[in-house]
Amino acid sequence: MIKLDVDESISVLFILIEQFSYDKEPMFLLSDKNKKLIESCLNAPFQTFDAHELYPSVEEKVAALFYTIVKGHKLENGNKRTGVILTLFFLLRNDLWLKMNQDGLYKLAISVADSKTSDKDSVIVMLNQIFKDNIFKP
């Protein structure tokens, strides 16, 4: 499984940031702090405990990445957009894609962002199933 490089991911996000810079809801500003936060999110799917991967399958890795960015609210703005873009970028880097359309991804990001932190485990299970049903190799 290919892990996303933080600098390459920032380059992809820079395009998005530029596009939304004049929007009423602009994206976050690029800074060393935000770069470290994004790097932390990119590492989340590859965590291990006692030499075992916490997220061994591709669906689990995608769910962990998506949840960490969208629900973590680590950036001052644009967490849902960042989560969607980096999730799609992660899949693309691993020669995979989603059957979900833009509206479906948007609704999924909203539901994760609106979920209770105490429901994390059930949200992750839901995300695993959604991604399992919708990830494919083109």
Tell me the per-residue pLDDT of 30-87, one tens digit each, with 9 for 90 and over. 667 777 888 999 999 999 999 999 999 999 999 999 999 999 867 767 788 889 989 9
Q: Which two structure tokens, joined as six digits, stand for 27?
A: 């994206």
C-alpha span between 55 and 75 (Å, rounded):
23
In a domain, 38, yes or no: yes
pLDDT for res 30: 67
User: Quick one: 73 exposed, middle or buried, by C-beta within 10 A (0-12, 13-18, 19+)?
Assistant: exposed
pTM of the model: 0.88
In a domain, 16, yes or no: yes
C-alpha span between 63 and 109 (Å, rounded):
11
In a domain, 107, yes or no: yes
In a domain, 11, yes or no: yes
In a domain, 86, yes or no: yes
In a domain, 85, yes or no: yes
Domain, as residue range, for 63 = 6-136
CATH of the domain at 115: 1.20.120.1870
C-alpha span between 129 and 103 (Å, rounded):
18
User: For residue 16, what pLDDT band results from cuts at 50, 70 and 90?
Assistant: confident
In a domain, 1, yes or no: no
Q: Which two structure tokens, joined as six digits, stand for 122?
A: 């059930």
Task: List the one residue out of 60, 42, 58 whose CA is nearest residue 126.
Answer: 60
Tell me the per-residue pLDDT of 72-127, one tens digit each, with 9 for 90 and over. 867 767 788 889 989 999 999 999 999 999 899 999 999 999 999 999 999 999 99
Number of domains in the chain: 1
